[in-house]
């Protein structure tokens, strides 16, 4: 900083005298913006060199850049049964990487800011694990590593962050396996290691939430990933106790007699339904506490079935997630055990009995701790909806108007990004027409990062901006430029360190440049503002 300042003052003949700034403007109130104001002589402009240290040379109040739009824009990437990625099991590593990068590139181009990647579909792993075997959805054989070897989750995290995308690791805590597996399970799969925890029910094998060992086991899987990977979130979907299924005209009962009997013998007084709900409640709470103890900035979210209970609100009908899945997501939200809740509102706005806006308003009213509420939305597949893209546009508009809601998660990548999908064009052109930061999570840490350091130099290629953190990690940079009275905003990955701005007759250099840093909780620093006086 000292060297740059000396360079600035060592050539006084090459600079015009800078316009004097009234003293009243230099009385900088707390929280105002640092600014440098300078002008150049024609001789210095022709020299092709424009040194300026944009922090420390001057501190003066400047016009604040506009607030950065805030909206969570998530996209689910499902791996179970190869729904989204990889396109089929057994692809070589290069093909898997190419497909994943294509998905991430499209997500970034459409101005999403997060992906939710399924990493544990059924007690298996899309990453090297010392606890569970490799997923058969990845390689075609459970327990077989990709060839040539690579770590898909580490690759995905790095690639997402390079594109300014959050990556949330999506786990299924209790689904163990299909009844019709493609290949026999290896010796390190939980169905082989701990068959006493496993219950057949309907189409799948399930871990029994009533077994204490199951809770500890699934928690250990989640925390192994939290400790080893630079993920931004942990995500569960709507599978807890299994959805109701029938055989021979009768509903299949979940076979948890053994742990239920032990509970009663130990003096338990709850009803069986309350006991099942409490098993899930305890697990959710334990996951939240463990994540915050290890990495407080890692968000924990759940995407439950969109109806908590029928008649809540009164006009709602449908499956009772509270009574049939033993999922009390309202409690988790109100207890503060979630950083975000993404109820799956997969019904159109005009659907009688399951209206999207009616359910959205109800969930918003339950969010008494003001955590994030990001409804899950379908991008197609509704019955009696002639224009799915317009329906999606309507639902996002309703979400933006609903107080207490700050984003959405779209189901799912392949459905959205398939060729010819008009929803993709609407997202790019109208719905996500400008970039947005995810909403801040002040309960995870509310100390803004330090104001960044910004330098500029005029080169043969244009105005070269260089920046760095003044302390602490930066997840994203917000670069704003004002030209012709109009501000534009770019959101850049934390790994970026500079940009060259070229100028021409139709695109002059900006009059003002502002740079802010966002931390892992999406808290923004005070911007440094560069004002070029011409």
Ordered by start, the domain boundaries in the chain are 2-68+444-532, 74-431
Q: What pLDDT sits at residue 534?
A: 53
| The token pair that represents 48 in the structure block | 């092709």
Please give the Cα distance from 492 to 312 (Å, whole number): 42
The model's pTM: 0.90
H or E element, residue 225? helix 212-228
Fold of 2-68+444-532: Immunoglobulin-like (2.60.40)
146 neighbors 95 (Cβ within 8 angstroms): no
Q: What are the 10-residue block averages of pLDDT along the chain, 534 residues in total?
A: 32 30 33 41 39 38 82 98 96 98 97 98 97 96 96 98 98 90 88 97 96 98 98 98 95 98 98 98 98 98 98 98 98 98 98 97 98 97 92 98 98 91 91 97 95 93 95 96 94 97 86 96 95 64
Encoded tokens for 173:
């805590």
Dihedral (CA of 393, 397, 400, 404) sign: negative
The total of other beta-carbon atoms located within 10 Å of residue 374's CB is: 24
d(CA 454, CA 468): 7
* pLDDT value of residue 503: 84
> What gap in Å lies between CA 268 and CA 260, rounded to an integer?
9
Per-residue pLDDT at 110? 97
For the chain, the distance separating the N- and C-terminal CA atoms, rounded to the nearest angstrom, is 24
Please enumerate in sequence order all residues whose Cβ is within 8 A of that of 485, keeping only pairs 6 or more positions apart, or say none.
none
* pLDDT the model gives residue 64: 83
pLDDT at 33 (0 to 100): 45
Q: How far is Cα 179 from Cα 515, in angstroms, rounded to an integer?
A: 54
- 407-411 vs 462-468, strand pairing mode: unpaired
CATH node for 74-431: 3.20.20.80
Q: What is the pLDDT of residue 182?
A: 67
Sequence-separated (6 or more) residues with CB below 8 Å from residue 92: 146, 147, 148
pLDDT score at 482: 95
Residue 162: both structure tokens together? 């390079």
Distance CA(99)–CA(39), nearest Å, equals: 49
Of the candidates 472, 319, 145, 528, the residue with the CA atom closest to the CA atom of residue 343: 319
Nearest by Cα to 457 from 498, 400, 494: 498
State the alpha helices, DSSP H only, in 295-418.
Answer: 329-335, 356-366, 388-401, 413-417
pLDDT at position 530, please? 87
Closest CA to 459 of 45, 162, 105, 34: 45
Task: Name which of 353, 274, 344 is nearest 311 in CA terms.
Answer: 353
How many helices and strands, by DSSP H and E, does the chain display?
15, 23
């Amino acid at each position: 900083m000292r060297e740059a300042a000396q360079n600035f003052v060592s050539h006084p003949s090459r600079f015009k005298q800078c316009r004097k700034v009234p003293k009243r403007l230099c009385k900088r109130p707390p929280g105002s913006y640092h600014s440098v104001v300078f002008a150049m002589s024609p001789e210095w402009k022709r020299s092709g060199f424009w040194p300026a240290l944009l922090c420390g040379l001057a501190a003066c109040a400047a016009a604040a850049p506009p607030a950065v739009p805030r909206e969570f824009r998530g996209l689910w990437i499902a791996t179970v049964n190869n729904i989204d990625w990889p396109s089929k099991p057994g692809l070589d590593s290069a093909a898997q990487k190419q497909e994943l990068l294509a998905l991430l590139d499209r997500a970034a181009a459409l101005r999403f800011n997060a992906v939710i990647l399924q990493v544990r579909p059924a007690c298996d792993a899309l990453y090297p694990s010392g606890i569970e075997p490799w997923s058969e959805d990845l390689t075609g054989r459970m327990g077989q590593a990709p060839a040539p070897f690579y770590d898909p989750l580490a690759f995905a995290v790095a690639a997402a962050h390079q594109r300014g995308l959050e990556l949330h690791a999506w786990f299924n805590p209790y689904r163990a396996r299909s009844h019709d597996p493609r290949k026999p399970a290896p010796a390190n799969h939980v169905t082989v290691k701990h068959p006493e925890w496993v219950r057949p029910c309907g189409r799948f094998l399930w871990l029994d939430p009533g077994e204490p060992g199951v809770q500890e086991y699934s928690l250990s899987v989640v925390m192994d990933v939290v400790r080893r990977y630079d993920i931004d979130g942990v995500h569960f979907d709507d599978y807890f106790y299994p959805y109701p299924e029938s055989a021979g005209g009768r509903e299949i009962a979940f076979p948890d007699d053994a742990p239920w009997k032990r509970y009663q013998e130990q003096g338990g007084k709850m009803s069986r339904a309350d006991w099942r709900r409490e098993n899930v409640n305890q697990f959710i709470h334990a996951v939240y506490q463990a994540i915050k103890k290890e990495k407080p900035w890692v968000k924990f979210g759940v995407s439950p079935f969109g109806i908590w209970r029928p008649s809540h609100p009164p006009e709602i009908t449908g499956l009772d997630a509270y009574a049939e899945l033993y999922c009390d997501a309202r409690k988790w939200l109100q207890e503060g055990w979630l950083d975000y809740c993404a109820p799956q509102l997969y019904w159109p706005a005009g659907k009688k009995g399951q209206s999207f806006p009616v359910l959205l308003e109800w969930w918003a009213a339950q969010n008494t701790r003001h955590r994030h509420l990001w409804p899950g939305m379908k991008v197609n597949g509704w019955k009696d909806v002639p224009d799915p893209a317009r329906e999606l546009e309507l639902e996002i508009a309703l979400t933006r108007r609903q107080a207490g809601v700050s984003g959405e998660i779209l189901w799912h990548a392949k459905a959205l990004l398939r060729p010819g999908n008009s929803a993709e064009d609407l997202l790019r052109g109208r719905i996500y027409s400008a970039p947005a930061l995810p909403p801040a999570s002040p309960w995870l840490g509310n100390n803004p990062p330090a104001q960044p350091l910004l330098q500029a130099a005029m080169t043969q290629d244009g105005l070269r901006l260089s920046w760095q953190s003044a302390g602490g990690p930066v997840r994203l940079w917000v670069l704003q430029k004002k030209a012709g009275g109009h501000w534009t905003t770019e959101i850049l990955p934390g790994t970026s360190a500079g940009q060259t701005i070229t100028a021409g007759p139709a695109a002059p250099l900006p009059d003002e440049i502002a740079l802010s840093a966002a931390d892992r909780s999406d808290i923004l620093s005070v911007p440094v503002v560069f004002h070029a006086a011409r």
